[in-house]
Amino acid sequence: MNHVVTLTGVTKKYGELTALDDVSLGFPRGRFTAVMGPSGSGKSTLIQCAAALDTPTSGSVAIGGVDVGTLNETKRTELRRAHIGFVFQSYNLLPAITVEENLTLTLRLAGRKPDLAWIRMLVERVGLHDRLRHRPGELSGGQQQRAAIVRALAGRPDVLFADEPTGALDLRSASQVLDLLRSMVDDLGQTVVMVTHDPAAAARAHDALIMADGRLVDVLPAPSAEDLAARLTRLAGRPVAAAGGAL
Amino acid sequence: MIRTALAMSGLGGLVVAFFAVLGGMALITGSGVIVESGLRSSLEGSRLAAADVLVSAPQSVRGGEGGLPVGLPERAVVPASLIAELSQVAGVASAAGDVTFPAALVGAEAAATGDGHGWASAVLAGGAVLDGRAPRAAEEIVVSKTHAVRPGADVEVIAAGKRGTYRVTGVVDAPGLYFADRVALDLADRTAGQRAGTVDIVALRAAPGTDAGALAQAVRKRIGDGYEISTGSAKGDAESPGTAAARTLLIALPSSVGGLSLLIVGFVVGGGISLSITRQRRDLALLRAAGATPRQVRKLVAAQGMAAALAALIPGAAAGYLMAAHFGDLLVHVGMLPANMPLTYSPIPAVAAAPLLLGVVRVSAFATSISASRMPAVAAVRDSAGEPRTPSAVRYKSGLLIILASLLISSLPLFIRGEIAAVGPGVAALLSVIGLALAGPRLVQSATGLLARHLPARVPASVWLAVANTRGYALRTAGAVAALGMVVTLATSVALTHFTILQATADETAETLKADAAVTAPAYGGIPHGLLDDVRRTPGVTAAVATSTTVVASRSLAVGDDGDNLVSRTAMVLGPDAGELVDLGVGAGSLADLKGATIALDERAGEVGERYDLVLGDGAAVKARVVATYSRALGLGPVVLSRDLVAGHTTTGLDSTILVRTDGDRSGLERLTARWPGVDVAAGSPSPQAGETSAQLWINIAVLAVLLGYVLVSVANRLVATIASRGAELTAVKRLGSTPRQLTAMIRWEALIIALTASLAGLAMSVVPLLLLSVGFLGRPWPAGPLWVAPAAMATVCAVVWLAYELTARRLIRHA
């Protein structure tokens, strides 16, 4: 299968704590993948390593065929800007500049000319065309997150990572954001990887990866919210046992 | 409560408050030491060591309703009849009159010059005759052992200006020259004229078994409160009449610079506290949401400020005492403080300064926290992002109004050409800085907005982001710009104002005094009799005029004088012959009429024929008639006294300087020293005000330097704290795709924008006042003095900004 990002034997330690324990997997192109797991299971660390925001303690991450481990901080940033879009739970819009300026910020940092027609299309799609001149602080949480998605997509990244994108949103806004992500995959062929702890959110994905104790423990294709909820409940109540699993 | 407060505050904000209070404490304690020394310090060593009680006349007059006492430097005398009266007081073993007059051996080394006294004083001074006997006849003298003259020798002496030959009859173990008592009174001019029948001091020795303090009380009971009665270490004051003047200077000095310092301390401490509170707006909001009442939030904020302030009090006080010591050395160095008058160190200044500082902290904590604490809890959380907030319109407009007011004040020198105009630029500069701090955020927004719109599309992202940040965080930017701008403004305005006025004074003095040489005789305490005639007879001399300066106190003579209170100032003393060499720009009357009890006045202060009440330098109240009015008041001051008026009211009774005009050949003058050894001949004409003005200049510059150092340290602190709190923001930018290099570039551009804006704003704030001052005083648009202070201050500001950003941001970026 054609993988956008491949992780091989990735381990990440924070001091004594092992956040990722020898994880190998690939994210397939054009699909919507959800990463699930209880708190502390390593799901956020997984996509931060996959997105080259963080570096693994051992193992390798390849983005577009380039081994991230061989790059210095600057090269890694450049690689990220070229291939990856990232949506944070806390939006990460800069409060000092307007929404419009935020949308093109990453491109500006990369020294790339923004594709204005593309961005205008995205803005129309998320319904923010009348809020562009506002400061982020003047937008609702849902609007800010939609703006963050537009910014992540503005450079046409190979893959869009989203870390708990609905974590801070009310149900209605969360549902809008999930619709948006799904439609990007369906209509535009965008690859999306989303970390979430909400089974209902994960159920919108093509596949769900289940993490526990820094390991990948299960892969559920076309999951339903009920299956996922049940699977997670079992994980939460289980004794310490590692399930092997590969994709 | 306190523990929560400290846990919440985070160290950064507290450190800023700590340093602000520390510096403020040091400044105020230091000023306090100076004031206390003025009130309580005692001169080291006493000449009349063997006397138990000294009775002298007060050397100051009350300045009027609520005014400070005005110090009088010329010896005020007591009637000689007191000697007989006091010798009858129970417990007095002996009473003697002491007089002091300048007396020196002609041609002796400068170190041997000094004072003359009557023989009775030698005993009181504890002098034992080492060799020979006491002086009895008119031409007999006893010398100090330091003179290296043996009994039987004939010496030439100039005593109180009178030159004569004396036979040495003895050598004594006390400083000075001793004459027979009657001769001394004669020389000191106490046998005829204004001071007939007076002595300087009546010195009492207590009978065995009588305590000096008890004797002093008995004396006070006998003669009342009209006299100074001193014992112990206070005797030094009675012996040196100038001390009272030095004391009033010490007391007045901090109050003249105190206003500025207090404002700055308030500005810095208030800023520090407000920064530490702004940093935790969100925490405070969460606290409100968790159920804290507004009152509890305010108390918490106050507790934090108090903790930082309390920690700073003791090191601050220590620094203050240290600073006062250095300041005292400076005062001695510029001649405004007698070298034998040490400063007094007691806990009082620190104890007084502490509540003042704590009060400032309390008030600024309250003022800053009031908006955060009053908001409804939910709104507080929503609003707690801190920035970007929209700067309020009221704040902006009041800022602009203050800047406008400062411009009005700075136009003062155009209308008033006098000492008071000097206040204009300093106050204007300070006001405009406060205005800048208020109006700053809006100004910064518009300025950077303009910049942002005109940035070429292709500028690097780091530049674009830097501009966007300075604009988006306008409050933060403006706070730094105002504080840094203040450094530039104060340094430039205050320093150049003083230099400009000094220059204008010197220029006008040069126009006023048409002399090209000045003869002085410091070794003899003043111009000896006969020297003026010798100078006039010297080949090459076309005119010579003797002058002196004294102090005169009066009610309002110049604009800015406190209307009802006495103001003392140095005034020149001239005779009717002054017109030859002194061109005051007389508009009405004539200097030739400076005879009898007369004065000449600044034409804006009065008219010919008016009578003025004056208090002379020894405290004598006199009425003087105005015989001339003049326009050049800057050089010699607003009042000139006639020699006749002052006669008998000065310590020495001698002129201090002979102003000389020559036909260009000064060689004859130079040869005068052969006949008059110890006489100085200098080129040019000294301004009677110059010494005082330049001393004032150095004091002001020293105070300014300390204040600026304080402001700079606290601004650097604020910058560091502000940058250190931007970790989350930098991490966000980095995650959005900024390379470390781009982050560093962004920070550097921000630093550059802030440094340049602050420099230019500071410069702009000082340019207008200085321009108006220069036009008013020098008739040209640029000030006098070291113009490089402006670029130097700007460079300092840039360096501080660069250091703060570079050191703090580097760490942040590495960890972002």
SS (H, E, C) B730-790: HHHHHHCCCCHHHHHHHHHHHHHHHHHHHHHHHHHHHHHHHHHHHHHHHCCCCCCCCCCHH
Distance CA B341, CA B240 (A): 11
Closest partner CB to B741 (pick from A74, A86, A137): A74
A161 interfaces chain B, CB cutoff of 8 Å:
no
Query: Is the pLDDT assigned to residue A243 strictly greater than 60?
Result: no
Identify the DSSP state of B513.
Answer: B
The per-residue pLDDT for B12 is: 60
Q: What percent of chain B has pLDDT over 70?
A: 89
DSSP H or E segment with residue A221: strand A215-221
Least confident of A167-176, B163-172, B237-246, B376-385: B376-385
> Which class for B713: exposed (0-12), middle (13-18), buried (19 or more C-beta within 10 A)?
middle
Give tens-digit pLDDT for A148-177: 889 988 888 999 999 988 887 788 888 888
For residues A221-229, average pLDDT: 84
Give tens-digit pLDDT for B129-171: 778 888 888 889 998 888 778 888 888 888 888 888 999 998 8
- Mean pLDDT, rounded, of chain B: 81
The A residues from 108 to 127 touching B (CB cutoff 8 Å) are 108-111
Give tens-digit pLDDT for A35-57: 998 888 888 899 999 988 888 99
User: In chain B, whose CA is at the least distance from the CA of A91?
Assistant: B732
Give tens-digit pLDDT for B88-142: 888 888 888 888 888 888 876 554 557 888 888 888 887 777 788 888 888 899 9
A65 interfaces chain B, CB cutoff of 8 Å:
no
Distance CA A5, CA A42 (A): 17
Cα–Cα distances (Å) from B644 to A32, A112, B185, B536, B728, in that order, read 108, 90, 21, 21, 80
For residue A212, give the amino acid letter.
A
Is A53 among the domain residues? no
Distance CA B6, CA A90 (A): 28
Is A136 among the domain residues? yes
Interface test with B, best of A79, A97, A106 (most B CBs within 10 A): A97
CB–CB contact A96 B737 (8 Å): no
Q: Select from B806, B803, B801 the least CA-distant residue to B744.
A: B806
Greater pLDDT, B338 or A75: A75
How many helices (H) and strands (E) would you count in chain A?
9, 10
Query: Is the pLDDT assigned to residue A199 strictly greater than 60?
Result: yes
Cα–Cα distances (Å) from A71 to A52, A65, A68, A75, B658, in that order, read 10, 13, 6, 6, 86
> Across A3-12, A140-149, B297-306, B626-635, which has the greatest mean pLDDT?
A3-12
Distance CA B511, CA A137 (A): 67
Is A113 among the domain residues? yes
Interface test with B, best of A87, A108, A134, A161 (most B CBs within 10 A): A108
Least confident of B208-222, B429-443, B675-689: B675-689
Q: What percent of chain A has pLDDT over 90?
A: 14
* Residues linked to residue B159 through DSSP beta bridges, in sequence order: B103, B162
For residue B29, give the amino acid letter.
T
The A residues from 198 to 237 touching B (CB cutoff 8 Å) are none
Give tens-digit pLDDT for B529-582: 888 888 888 888 888 888 888 888 887 666 555 556 777 788 889 888 888 888
User: Which residues of B fall within a CB distance of 8 Å from A144?
Assistant: none
Query: pLDDT class for B1, splitting at 50, 70, 90?
Result: low
Closest partner CB to B737 (pick from A88, A95, A110): A110
Q: Could you tell me the two tokens for B93?
A: 């073993």
Distance CA B38, CA B667 (A): 46
Cβ count within 10 A of residue A200 = 17
Q: Select from B689, B692, B703, B555 the least CA-distant residue to B255.
A: B703
Is A73 among the domain residues? no
What's the Rg (C-alpha) of chain B? 33
User: Which residues of B fall within a CB distance of 8 Å from A78?
Assistant: 739
Query: Is the pLDDT assigned to residue B305 strictly greater than 60?
Result: yes
Contact A5, A26 (CB under 8 A): yes
Q: How far is B468 from chain A (nearest CA, A)?
A: 6
The per-residue pLDDT for B353 is: 86
Q: Could you tell me the two tokens for A46?
A: 């997984």
Cα–Cα distances (Å) from A199 to A33, A185, A190, A193, A213, in that order, read 13, 19, 22, 15, 19
Query: Is the pLDDT assigned to residue B417 strictly greater than 80?
Result: no
A112: domain CATH number is 3.40.50.300
What's the Rg (C-alpha) of chain A? 18
Handedness of CA B680, B685, B688, B691 (dihedral sign): negative
User: Which residues of A fall within a CB distance of 8 Å from B725?
Assistant: none
Query: Is the pLDDT assigned to residue B686 strictly greater than 90?
Result: no
Enclosing domain of residue A122: 29-41+84-237
Is A209 among the domain residues? yes
The per-residue pLDDT for A247 is: 42
The per-residue pLDDT for A126 is: 83
Is A76 among the domain residues? no
Give tens-digit pLDDT for B607-645: 888 888 888 888 888 888 999 988 888 877 888 899 888
Query: pLDDT class for A246, splitting at 50, 70, 90?
Result: very low
For residues A121-144, average pLDDT: 86
Is A70 among the domain residues? no
**Domain count for chain A:** 1
Query: Is the pLDDT assigned to residue B768 strictly greater than 60?
Result: yes
Contact B435, B403 (CB under 8 A): yes
Distance CA B622, CA B646 (A): 10
Query: pLDDT class for B377, splitting at 50, 70, 90?
Result: low
**Spatial CB neighbours of B419, under 8 Å, sequence gap ≥ 6:** B501, B558, B560
For residues B438-464, average pLDDT: 80
The per-residue pLDDT for B133 is: 86
The per-residue pLDDT for B685 is: 64
Contact B345, B321 (CB under 8 A): yes
Is A162 among the domain residues? yes
Supply angle C-alpha A232, A237, A241, rounded to 5.
90
